[in-house]
Structure 1
């Protein structure tokens, strides 16, 4: 009897593809959703890692140019009103409002400081939204993927029990394949959720740090303009 059981068990394909192929349609759909969610998450993770690295490099290069002693009007003339860099766009927003606040006779329109600060705040908010775009997907995958996998597991185990009842056989040869197929869905759910949660926390912290750098620069730039207004 044991030899027969071992012979039957050896003929069962327990590979990932074998488990997927034997799964019910519902479990297959769950697995496909989880695989696609994992691929989507990794795409966002890679894209954000590249974007954040570029943003840090641009901010570092612009910070050196800003504090090089070059007149701000000349620096703005080189960059233009719509530069490519994120911190450069914050600077450009302030300079555009600074220039708009001058009358034809050279005098400043009242309330220039407040308008400049608001312009830079709006620019920072836009850049923050761009940096954080896609992170909500990671949060969603991290919070829902385990439950989606669990649903697939519950569905698969239910189907396995139905098969056991129909076969009227509780041997491992009958039980193990159905249970293994069902547990694969939970494994895929965790495989999608764990990286999503880890990198969501990491990338959110990085985005906050980059935006904090923009806010610090805006405060410093506003202080410089405030001195010129007072003089």
Structure 2
């Protein structure tokens, strides 16, 4: 129960700005993990389907599997231009969510720093009563730094997840490019 008491005590002493900043960072944290879980699950399944389609094409299949994204693209005929458009669409769809992860990764430390600066300013403005000792200042500064630590804590997974999703998207696009190469090289057979 000691951890809950510390938590409640911290919030009872915190200013509106500090609570607002920590709330904002909490929302960012939830968004970060939501994007990770939704995008990685979808991309993994999509990559597996496309890998299976590529393998069937390489094994000599005369038709591309119906669950392949490129099947929709080549329904009007196989051309390099149509395949390139399809690959561009896949790249766009597979990287959705990255903008938010990059925004969160780049702004979280600044939001945390803003909360820290405001808390430090409030601490110093409250010291005008003449009781400016280390015993008064140190705990207040320590509590103010929680916002900066929280900002960094939120930024690290957002940046990491952004790189993971980028890599998964890169792999998916690579598989589709290989599919397109096979389709172009065997165009007369389809």
TM value normalised by structure 2: 0.88
Alpha-carbon deviation of 1:14? 7.8
Residue matched to 1:102: none
Gaps of 5+ in 2: none
- Structure 1 runs of 4+ with >4 Å offset: none
Which string of whole-angstrom CA distances, capped at 9 and with x for unpartnered residues, describes residues 31-52 of structure 1? 1111110110111111122122
Which of 186-195 and 42-51 deviates more? 42-51
8 Å contact 1:27–1:185 — kept in the other structure?
yes
Are 1:56 and 1:210, in contact at CA under 8 Å, matched by a contact in 2?
yes
Q: CA deviation at 1:171?
A: 3.1
2:80 maps to what in 1? Answer: 117
Supply the distance in 2 between the matched residues of 1:18 and 1:26 (Cα, whole angstroms). 16
Alignment deviations for residues 95-148 of structure 1 (CA, whole Å, 9 cap, x no partner): x122xxxxxxxxxxxxxx6xx222121121111111100011111111111011
Higher relative contact order (CA 8 A, sep 6+): 2
Q: Matched residues in 2 for 1:92 and 1:223: separation?
A: 19
Where structure 1 has 5 or more consecutive residues not aligned to the other structure, the ranges are: 1-12, 80-84, 99-112
| Pair 1:214–1:58, CA change in 2 (3 A) | same
- Residue 147 of structure 1 is matched in structure 2 by 110
The answer to whether residue 9 in structure 2 is matched with residue 50 in structure 1 is no
Q: Distance in 2 between matches of 1:17 and 1:130?
A: 43
Size of the aligned set, in residue pairs, is 187
Q: From 136, 148, 153, give the equivalent of 2:99.
A: 136
Match of 2:130 in 1: 168
Q: Deviations over 1:135-185 (max 9, x none)?
A: 1111111111101100110000000111122x3212344323422331111
Q: CA deviation at 1:203?
A: 1.8
What residue in structure 1 maps to residue 20 of structure 2?
29
TM (norm. structure 1) is: 0.73
- Report SS of the residue matched to 1:15: helix
Name the residue aligned to 1:211.
173
Aligned-CA RMSD value: 2.2
- Distance in 2, matches of 1:212 and 1:18, equals 53
Q: Secondary structure at the match of 1:214?
A: helix
- CA distance in 2 between partners of 1:51 and 1:18 (Å): 42
Note the 1:186-197 alignment, pairs <5 A. 186-197=148-159
